[in-house]
Amino acid sequence: MEIADKAEYEEARQRAIEAAVAALVSEYAGTLYRVAYSVLRNAADAEDAVQEAFLRVLRHRETLNEVRDQRVWLIRIVWNIVLDRKRRAKTRPETDDVAELARVLPASGLSAEERAAAAQHHAHVLACVEQLPAKERQVLMLSAFEELTSVEIASVLGITESSVRSRLFRARNLMAGLLDHQRSLR
């Protein structure tokens, strides 16, 4: 009787773990895709990176309950994956297509005209973001688009919180200048 109880318990535990992993995929796949795409600039590569991140989660599913902040943990996993891929590739395409990232930004509850204007505005802002130096662009993407705190960004990037704040300050100032410059050209 005891063996049957252990088997049932183990089966129920495995189902609970599988449900937890499925919930992570459902909740964070879009966020992880945006993070991966912001670095890789290729939709297929970003999807592959997200899949690899979730495969790593599956390999360590037994320790899921030990993770304090699953969102930051997942972002750090995908961040490390995409940086490894970038290091291996050693090159970045000359022209980055921000239209794909603009496409994945939320635009629900808007009319078709408002969605078109919002997509155009997103593409414009993202084009300005692309002009930022890499370090500033990274912290701005994680802060503005993924809404991570300075502490969380420091954890993802492996830098100090003061470095994050400094880079974020520079990024915001540079963005303000770029956006003002673009407005004056219109």
The predicted-structure confidence for 92-134, as pLDDT tens digits, reads as follows: 443 444 444 445 455 456 677 777 777 777 777 778 888 889 8
Query: Residue 179 in contact with residue 160, Cβ under 8 Å?
Result: no
Q: Which amino acid is at 109?
A: G
Q: Which of 12-16, 56-60, 98-102 has the lowest mean pLDDT?
A: 98-102
Best CA proximity match to 33, nearest among 44, 23, 22:
44
Q: Is domain 1-91 in CATH 1.10.3470, yes or no? A: no
Best CA proximity match to 89, nearest among 41, 124, 153, 43:
41
* pTM of the full structure: 0.59
Where do the domains of the chain lie? 1-91
* Tokens 């408002």 -> residue: 114
Tokens linked to 177: 């200048």
Q: Which amino acid is at 130?
A: E
Residue 179's CB is within 10 A of a number of other CB atoms, namely 13
Residue 9's CB is within 10 A of a number of other CB atoms, namely 10
> Which helix (H) or strand (E) segment is 58 a member of?
helix 43-59
Query: Residue 146 in contact with residue 34, Cβ under 8 Å?
Result: yes
The predicted-structure confidence for 138-150, as pLDDT tens digits, reads as follows: 898 888 877 888 9
- Give 163 or 182, the one with higher predicted confidence: 163
Residue 161: partners with Cβ closer than 8 Å, 6 or more residues away: 150, 151, 154
